[in-house]
Amino acid sequence: MLEHIVHILPYELKSIVYQLSQDIKDSLEEIRIRENRPLEISHRGSFHYVTEQGGAVHDSRQAYHPTQEQCRKLLERITNYSLYAMEEELRRGYITIAGGHRIGIAGRTILEGGIVRGIRDIGGFNIRIAREVVGASKQLLPKLFGGPAGSLQSTLIISPPQQGKTTILRDLARAISYGEARKPAMKVAIVDERSEIAACVKGIPSFDVGPRTDVMDACPKAEGMMMLLRSMSPEVIIVDEIGRVEDAVAIREAAHCGVKVIATAHAFNVEEVLGRSEIKSLIAEKAFSSIVELKRNEQGFMHRIISVERLLEPNKQGSGFFSLSRKSGTL
């Protein structure tokens, strides 16, 4: 799992990661490298600083401090020694490497006409480790087949960052494509803008996303959805982290074509996601049939399913605002 990550690290940081306990390496979620500041990791939903000997501590004063030279070497390796060739990725603030691991970057932005054109003086990196968890959606999947004659429903999955949205989304794509939960295998299309869901290398998924799945890799979500609708005749479209106007337009088009959409969005709960105008409009139009609130704990994932049909019922006070009727479950 960590081969692709370790490969890009400068020698000193690579040595520290190798010395981490096996339990931490098996559950590692993030490595945060900041120039001349404490080295930090996240695992199992908590964070620690890391000593030069690979120890996990809570006192930042004991932590190893990556140097300017190490940060320079790291940047060279993740950009294949060509900042110019990775200019578009740098402008977006992250680079995805083989294995679906995403590396966020922070530094001084370059503005032109008030628009970010690039990032320079990069001194902060957040390496997010992608993990494949086959079977993660096993308990959730059957509950998504609640449409007419047990058909799949369009579903919006919401949660805060690092709660497993992409992991669940990836496994749903796999399971639906294989025809699990005693359902026929369906044609699935994934729009993988950040190359995290399928982790394609030269167009070939690194993760198992199912035998009937097509992937549009490194493509903006809205454009990818429209391209797949025109070219691949999908029955289901899978897309991560929607929210822009153009995303909503593409999802409406998919709904008009009878294609189901399973998407994710950042939000702590349904009340928060309703504060985002484009997503609220999609919900009001019933482009999604259900919403899943997802959270994670040490035992795994927890989910709560909210019926959009019931969500849209006016409350008893007659204000017309969304009520919050829920069905719940765990996974």
> Mind listing the pLDDT tens digit for each residue in 108-145?
988 888 887 778 889 999 999 988 889 999 999 999 99
- Could you state, in order of their start, the residue ranges of all structural domains in the chain? 3-128, 141-330
Number of other residues whose CB lies within 10 A of the CB of residue 18: 12
Same fold, 3-128 and 141-330: no
Q: What average pLDDT values come out for the chain (331 residues) when binned by 10 residues?
A: 84 96 92 98 92 97 97 92 78 83 90 81 92 90 89 95 90 97 95 91 90 95 96 97 96 96 94 92 94 81 88 54 35 35
Q: Which residue has the tokens 């035998």?
A: 211
Please name the CATH architecture into which domain 141-330 falls.
3-Layer(aba) Sandwich (3.40)
Closest to 141 in 3D by CA, of 194, 191, 188, 79: 188
Q: 18: which DSSP letter?
A: H
What is the maximum span of the chain, computed from C-alpha positions, in angstroms?
Answer: 64
Ranges assigned E (strand) in the chain: 28-34, 40-43, 46-50, 56-57, 94-97, 101-112, 115-128, 155-159, 188-192, 200-201, 204-205, 213-217, 236-239, 260-266, 290-297, 300-307, 327-330
Q: What is the pLDDT of residue 298?
A: 67
CATH topology of domain 3-128: Beta-Lactamase (3.30.450)
Alpha helices in 147-190 (DSSP H): 165-178
Task: Report which secondary-structure segment, H or E, holds 270.
Answer: helix 270-273
pTM score of the predicted model: 0.81
Q: What is the pLDDT of residue 53?
A: 97
**Is the Cβ–Cβ distance between 36 and 65 less than 8 Å?**
yes
> Mind listing the pLDDT tens digit for each residue in 9-44?
999 999 999 999 999 998 899 999 999 999 999 998
